[in-house]
A and B are shown apart, each in its own frame.
Chain A
Amino acid sequence: MIFYIFLGVIAGTITGLIPGLHSNNIVYFFTSISFFEKNFSYFVISMVITQSFVDFIPSVFFGAPDTDTFEGVLPGHKLFLEGNGFEAIILTIFGGICAIIFSILLIPIFQQFLIINNEKIIFLIPPVLIISSLILVLSEKNNKLRKIAIFVFIISASQGILFKDQLFPLISGYFGISTIIFANKKNNLIKQKNTATIKTEHVFDGVIGLIGGAIVSIFPGIGNNLAAAIIKLFRQNMKTKKYLVVLGSINTSNFLFSIPVLFVLNRARNGAAIYLKENFIFTEQTYILSIITIIISAGAGAIITIGISKLLCNKIQKIDFTILNYGLILILISLVIIFNGPIGFIALMFSTALGTFTISKKVKRSNCLGALIVPALFFYLFVLI
Chain B
Amino acid sequence: MDEKKLTSLCFVIIIFGFLLFIIFYAEEFPKTTISELIKNPETKGKLFGRVDYIISNENNTIFIFVQDQSIKVFYPKKIDLKKNDFVQIYAESTIYKNTPEIFAHKVIKE
Q: Which residues of A contact B (CB under 8 A)?
A: 1-2, 36, 38, 86, 90, 93-94, 97, 100-101, 195-198, 200, 279, 281-283, 285-286, 288-289, 292-293, 295-296, 298-300, 302-303, 306, 310
Contacts and interface: CB of A to CB of B under 8 A. Distances in A.
The binding surface of chain A is classed by DSSP as helix
B2 A303 contact: no
Contact of A93 (B6, B14, B28, B44): B6
A311 B36 CA distance: 56
A295 B17 contact: yes
Interface class of chain B by DSSP:
helix
B61 to A, nearest CB: 14
A101 B107 CA distance: 35
20 contacts: A2-B21, A36-B108, A90-B3, A97-B10, A100-B13, A101-B13, A196-B2, A196-B3, A197-B1, A198-B1, A281-B106, A288-B24, A292-B21, A295-B14, A295-B16, A296-B14, A296-B18, A303-B11, A303-B14, A306-B6
Contacts of B3: 86, 90, 195-196, 306, 310
Interface residues of B, number: 26
B13 A295 contact: yes
B7 A197 contact: no
B105 interface: yes
Given A197-B2, A295-B17, A302-B6, 4 more contacts: A100-B13, A292-B24, A299-B12, A303-B10
A295 B108 CA distance: 29
A90 B2 CA distance: 9
A252 B15 CA distance: 19
Given A198-B1, A281-B90, A299-B14, A97 B105 contact: no
Nearest to A291: B20
B17 to A, nearest CB: 4
B9 interface: yes
Q: Which of A197, A279, A289, A299 has the most CB of B within 10 A?
A: A299
Given A285-B26, A299-B11, A94 B6 contact: yes
Contacts of B96: none
Given A197-B1, A200-B1, A283 B28 contact: yes
A90 B6 contact: yes
Among B6, B9, B10: residue with most chain A CB under 10 A: B10
Interface in B14-37: 14, 16-18, 20-21, 24-26, 28-29
A299 B6 contact: no
A97 B29 contact: no
A303 to B, nearest CB: 5
A300 B108 CA distance: 32
Nearest to B22: A292
Nearest to B88: A36
Given A296-B18, A300-B14, A1 B6 contact: no
Contacts of B14: 295-296, 299-300, 303
A196 B2 CA distance: 6
Contacts of A289: 21, 24-25
A304 to B, nearest CB: 10
Given A1-B25, A281-B106, A296-B17, A306 B7 contact: yes
Contact of A195 (B2, B21, B29): B2
Contact of A292 (B9, B17, B29, B105): B17
Nearest to B12: A299
A166 to B, nearest CB: 32
Given A36-B108, A302-B6, A296 B21 contact: yes
B105 A299 contact: no
A373 B90 CA distance: 42
B2 A38 contact: no
A286 B24 CA distance: 10
Nearest to A199: B1
B22 to A, nearest CB: 10
Contacts of A2: 21
A124 B3 CA distance: 39
A285 B3 CA distance: 34
B106 A285 contact: no
Contacts of A195: 2-3
Given A94-B1, A281-B90, A299 B10 contact: yes
Contacts of B16: 295
Contact of B90 (A38, A101, A298, A306): A38
A283 B14 CA distance: 24
Contacts of B90: 38, 281
